[in-house]
A and B are shown apart, each in its own frame.
Chain A
Amino acid sequence: MDHVVGDNSEFIGEFLVESTENLDQLDRDLLALESEPGDPQRLASIFRTVHTIKGNSGLFGFSKLGALAHNGEHLLGRLRDGKLSLDDRITGTLYSMVDAVRSILRSIESTGTEGEQNYRDLARQLAAVAAEEAAAVEEPKAAEPFPSEEPPVAAAEPVGDPAPMPAAEPRAETEAGESTHRDPPPPVPAPPSLAPAAAPGAPAVGGSAADSTVRVDVDLLASILDLVGELVLARNELRSVETEDPAVLAAAQRINAVTNALQETAVKTRMQPVEHVFSRFPRTVRDLATSCGKEVALSIDGADTELDRTLTESIRDPLTHLLRNAIDHGIESPEARAAVGKPRAGRLSLRAYHESGRVTIEVCDDGAGIDVERVRDKAIARGLVSPADAQGLSEEQILHFIFEPGFSTAREVTSVSGRGVGMDVVRTNIEAIGGTVDLHSLRGQGTTVRVHVPLTLAIMPALVVHCAGERFAMPQAAVSELVPVRRGTTSLVEGLADAPVMRVRGRLVPLVFLDKFLGLRPETACRGQGTVVLVRVDDREYGIVVDGSTRTGEAHAGCRELLESASLSTIVVKPIGAVLAGLGIYSGATVLGDGGVVLILDLRGMARAVDLPPIERETGDAKAATAAADRYLVCRTWRGRRIALPLGEIVRLEKHRSRDVQVAGPHRLIRRGDGFTPLADVDRVLGSASVAREADTTDALNVVVIRGPASDVGLAVERILDVVAADAPLQAALAAPGVAGTVSLGGLATEVIDVAAAAAQ
C-alpha cells in the first residue's frame, strides 16, 4: 500500500467497494440511532466508517471527500463524547453528508475525479451544527451517563490509516480509540495487501464475521462454476464407460457423488442474501415518508433469503418503485388513519421467502387499498376496456390494469409518484428476469404486491426441443403449453395471409415454424406432424412449431410424441460470444448431459425478428372476444369481391384439395377426419351464382371454417388476403344479401359477411 501516486486504480476500486458497503452500514446505523439515540455501539460504528473514509480519501488525495468526512467525523466525535445529543436536525445533516459522500464516490467510480460539485456549504453546516448546539446541550447532556470506558472505536483500523491525514486533525481520537481497543487484533497478522478483505466491514455486532468471510472476485467464482461444469461432463463420460472392475466402479461412484455435491456448492457461491438490496430500504422509506408527510413503520423479514447475485441488482429498482407506491398511494396521512381508527403510523412490510423453487418478495401495506372503481373508470377512460366489458371483469382483472403503461390513479402528481410510470416498469423489469408480479388489494385494509423471481438465471429449467436433427433449448418459464399437431386433426389453423396462426381456446396465436425460421431445411416439413410450443414473452404470445416424433417415424399417442420432441432439463446458461449474441435470436448456449452444445433460443428476439405484433393482454375472455371482433380476415371471392369476416367468428382456416369435396344432394361436403363439414361457396352466400371454375384442376381450396348452428361450416374462398384491424366500427347501413355491413379496413371499404346467414346456408 505504498502507492501514493501512480497507478493505484486497483486500490481505488477496493476503496470504492469498501466505502459503498460501509455507507450502507452507516445508513442502517443512523436509522437505528434515531430510534435509540446515544447507542454507543452505533455511534462508534458510524464514527469508524466516516473515519475510514476520511483516511482513505487522504491516501488517494480526494480532498473534497476528505474535508467532508473530516467535518462529519468532528460532529460525530462530539456526539460520541456526549457533547451533543442527536436530534432531527443533526440526523438530517448526517444523512446529507452520507448522500454527498455517496455521490462523490459515484463520481470517482465513473470519472475518476470527485466531480464538479462543491460541498463547502454542507461542510459548513456540519461544522455549524457541531459547534452551535454544543453550548445548548452541554449541560443536560453532561449528566447522561456515558460509559467511561470509550466505546470500541476503530476495532479494525483500515489499511489506509497510517497514511497521511489531512492536516487539521482536531483531536487524537484515533489514538484514544485504539488504546482502548476492545477487540483484540486478528490473531494472524494478515499481510498488508490482503488486509482490506477483512478490515473495516466488521459490524458493531459480532466482530468475528469478518474473519469467517473472504472477499472473492465474481469472475473467480464464475470460473470455478465453469470448471465444475467440465467435471460434470467428464463424470458423464466416465459413467458411460463399460467396466466390470469393482474398484473402477467404486471410484466412479464416489466421483459421481463428489461432483454432485461440488456442483451444488459452487452454485451456492453465486447466491447472495437479499439483504444487499433490502439494506438501503429503511433509509429510502424514511426519506419517502418524510417527503410525503406520512408516518411509516417498515418491517423487514427474510433478508437472509438468498438469490443469484446477478438478480439481486435487478430487483432493486422494481422494489423501490413498489415501496414508493405503497407510501405515496397506499398509506394514508396520519390524520386520515386516525380518523378511521388505524394507528397513525402505517405498517409497511417487506418479506422475502423461498416458495416452490423461486423467491417471493412481498411488499405489503396496511393503507387505503386500491379503489377498484377508480381503476375501472380510468381503464375505460383510457380505452383499455369497453364499459360493457368492464362490468364483466373480476376485481382482480381490473386491478391488473395498474400494470398497463402510463396507468396511474393518483389524483395529483406528486414529486414521488403519480406520473404514471411505475407499475408497468415494475412488471417489465421483473418479467425481464423471468419473474412475475401479482397484486391483491382490499379496500381500506391495504395492498400486497408479490414479486416472484427465479433463484438464479445461470441455471434454469429449460425445454429442449428437436427440429431438423438439431436441438434447441428455451427457458421453461416462458413456455405455457405444448400442443401436438397431427395430420388429420384440427388443432392447427393454417395461414392467415402467409402468417400461420393457431386457435387456442378462443385466441389466435401466431406460429413460427422453427425449421423455416432458422433455415434448417428448405421446406417446412413439420407442418403435418410436430409439436407447437406455446410461449409467452412480454406482451407477446406465439407458438413455435418443432418436430414431432422424429425417432419412431410413426404417429403415436400425443404424450409419446411430446416426450420425444421435447424434454425438460436443468441447464447451465453459458454466454456465447458477442458475435452470435448480435444475431438477436440466441441468448446463450448450454452443454447437455451428453456433452452436446445446445443453443438457447432468445424468445424475445425471435418475436422481434418475425415481427409479431404485441397481442392485447387479455383480461378474460370478454376482452379477447372484443379484440378479435375488431379484427377481420380479408378474403377474395372467385368473383373478385373483397370481403371480410370478423376474426372472432372464425374457428380455423383450412386448405383442402378440390377433389376432397364431395357432393351429397344440394350440399357439398368436405371430409375431415371422421366427419364431414358442410361447405358453402362464398359467392353464393353473397347472392350471386358460383363461378364455374375448373374444380378438378384447382388443387388447393381455401376454406374458412365458421361456427354454424349445428356444426362447423366451411366457407370456400378464392384467396385469403390478410388480417386487418378495423379503422372504424361496422356500418350496417350498406347491408346487402349475405352482408352484415361495411367496415373500413386499411382505408378500403370492405363488405363484412353475415356469418350467421352464411352458416345457415
Chain B
Amino acid sequence: MSTATPSVRRWCSFRLGSDCFAVDSTGVVEVLRSRRLTHVPLAAAGVLGLVHLRGRIVPVVDPAIRLNAVGDRSAAAGTHLMISVGDDWYGLSVDEMLDVVEIPDARVERPTAASSRGDAVAGTYDAGTRLVHLLDPGHLIHSLVRPAPHFGIPCGGPHGSG
C-alpha cells in the first residue's frame, strides 16, 4: 500500500452529485460530519458557513457550484472535507467520501483548455469504472470565496421597500 513514490500520489476521492472528484491527500486535514455551520450573511454564494476546527474558524464552501456537479445531491448529509490551502484551512461540502486512490502522475490526463470547470480541475484519471477529477484546491477555493462583484448593502429602513 505505502509504496508511494514521488510519482505516485494518494488522492482522497469524494462524490458530488454523480461525479467523482479528488484532492491530494497531503492537504487533507480531517473529515467532519454533521457539524452545524454558522451562516455568513453577505458572503459569496460559494461560502456555506463557518465551522470551528482545532482552534480555527474555517469557512466551508460548496464546490458543487464551481464544479457544475449534477445528479442526485439529496444525500448531501453535511460531510465536510477539511483541507489546507497554504496557511489556511477550508472545508469542502461533499456528498459522500470515497476511497483514497493511488494515482501515478503519469496516468493523469491534463484537462482540455475548454473545460467548463476551468482551473479548478488540474487533471483527470480514468479509474476504469469511473473518471476521477483531480482538483486544484487553490483555484477552486479562490473562485468560490471571492466576494460578489456588486457588493451593495441595503440600508435597513422601514420605508426602504416603498
1/0 contact string of A488-522 vs chain B (CB within 8 Å): 00000011011110000000000111111111100
Which of A225-233, A274-282, A728-736 sits within the interface?
A225-233
Provide the residues of chain A in CB contact with B159, threshold 8 Å: 494-495, 497-498
Which residues does chain A contribute within 8 Å of B1, judged by CB atoms?
Answer: none
- Residues of the B chain whose Cβ atoms lie less than 8 Å from the Cβ of A596: 36, 38
Interface assignment of B6: CB less than 8 Å from any CB of chain A? no
Q: Contacting A597 at CB < 8 Å: which of B51, B158, B161? A: B51
Most buried by A among B43, B54, B145, B157: B157
Check B149 for interface membership: any CB of A closer than 8 A: no
Q: Which of B55-63, B103-111, B119-127 contacts A (4 or more CB under 8 A)?
A: B55-63
Q: Is B65 among interface residues, defined by CB-CB distance under 8 A? A: no
Chain B interface SS verdict (over half): loop
B59 in complex: contacting residue of A513, A523, A577, CB < 8 Å: A577
Q: Which residues of B contact A76 (CB under 8 A)?
A: none
A517-B57 in contact (CB<8A): no
Q: CA separation between A527 and B47, bound complex, in Å?
A: 29
A470 to B37, alpha carbons, bound, how many Å?
11
Please tell me if the beta carbons of B155 and A585 are within 8 angstroms of each other in the complex.
no
Do residues B56 and A519 form an inter-chain contact, with CB atoms below 8 A?
no
Residue contact A576 to B50, C-beta cutoff 8 Å: yes
**Closest A residue to B85 using CB positions:** A577
Chain B, residue nearest A229 (CB): B55
Query: B38 contacts A598, CB within 8 Å?
Result: yes
A269 sits at the interface (CB 8 A): no
Supposing A498-B159, A514-B156, A580-B40 touch, asked if A599 and B50 sit within 8 A by C-beta, the answer is yes
Which chain B residues border A495 with CB–CB below 8 Å? 157-159
Interface band, chain A: 35 or more
Judged by a CB distance under 8 angstroms, whether B153 is at the interface is: yes
Please state if A519 and B39 are interface contacts (CB–CB under 8 Å). no
In the bound complex, what is the Cα–Cα distance between A499 and B160 (angstroms)?
Answer: 8
Asked if residues A579 and B42 are in contact (CB atoms below 8 Å), the reply is no
B118 within 8 A of A: no
- Cα A511 to Cα B155 in complex, Å, equals 9
Majority secondary structure of chain A interface residues (helix, strand, loop or mixed) = mixed
A589 / chain B contacts, CB cutoff of 8 Å: 38, 50, 57
Interchain CB contact (< 8 A) of A511 among B40, B56, B145, B156:
B156
| Contact of A610 with B by CB under 8 A | yes
In the complex, chain A residues whose CB is within 8 Å of the CB of B59: 576-577, 579-580
Residue of A223, A545, A589, A611 with highest tally of chain B CB at under 10 A: A589
Chain A residues, CB < 8 A from B55: 223, 225-227, 229-230, 574
- Complex Cα distance A512/B43, Å? 19
Q: Are A516 and B154 in contact (CB under 8 A)?
A: yes
In the complex the two chains form, is B42's CB within 8 Å of A470's CB? Answer: no
- A609 CB–B CB distance under 8 Å: yes
Q: Are B157 and A517 in contact (CB under 8 A)?
A: no
Digitize A641-662: 1 where CB-to-B-CB distance is under 8 Å, 0 elsewhere. 0000000000000010000000
Asked if residues A576 and B38 are in contact (CB atoms below 8 Å), the reply is no
Across the interface, do A597 and B155 meet the contact criterion of CB distance under 8 Å?
A: no
Q: Tell me whether A583 and B156 are in contact in the complex, defined as CB-CB below 8 angstroms, given that A597-B51, A597-B52 are known contacts.
A: no
Contact present for B56 and A226 (CB under 8 Å) = yes
A595 contacts partner chain B, Cβ-Cβ < 8 Å = yes
Q: Cβ of A517 and Cβ of B153 under 8 Å apart? A: yes
B-chain residues with CB within 8 Å of residue A611 when the two chains form the complex: 155
Instruction: Specify which of A470, A545, A586, A609 is in contact with B153 (CB 8 Å cutoff).
Output: A609
Instruction: Tell me the bound Cα distance from A583 to B156 in angstroms.
Output: 18
- Specify which of A223, A470, A580 is in contact with B47 (CB 8 Å cutoff): A580
Q: Which of B40, B44, B51 contacts A599 (CB 8 A)?
A: B40
A–B complex contacts, Cβ < 8 Å, 22 sampled: A226-B56, A498-B157, A499-B155, A500-B158, A512-B155, A513-B156, A516-B155, A517-B153, A524-B156, A527-B158, A574-B57, A576-B50, A576-B57, A586-B40, A589-B38, A589-B57, A595-B52, A596-B38, A597-B57, A599-B50, A610-B155, A610-B156
Given contacts A514-B156, A575-B57, 18 further A-B contacts (CB under 8 A): A223-B55, A226-B55, A230-B54, A230-B55, A470-B38, A470-B41, A494-B158, A495-B157, A500-B156, A516-B155, A516-B156, A518-B42, A519-B41, A524-B158, A579-B44, A597-B50, A599-B38, A609-B153
Listed from nearest, the 4 A-B pairs whose CB atoms lie closest are A226-B55, A513-B156, A516-B156, A518-B41
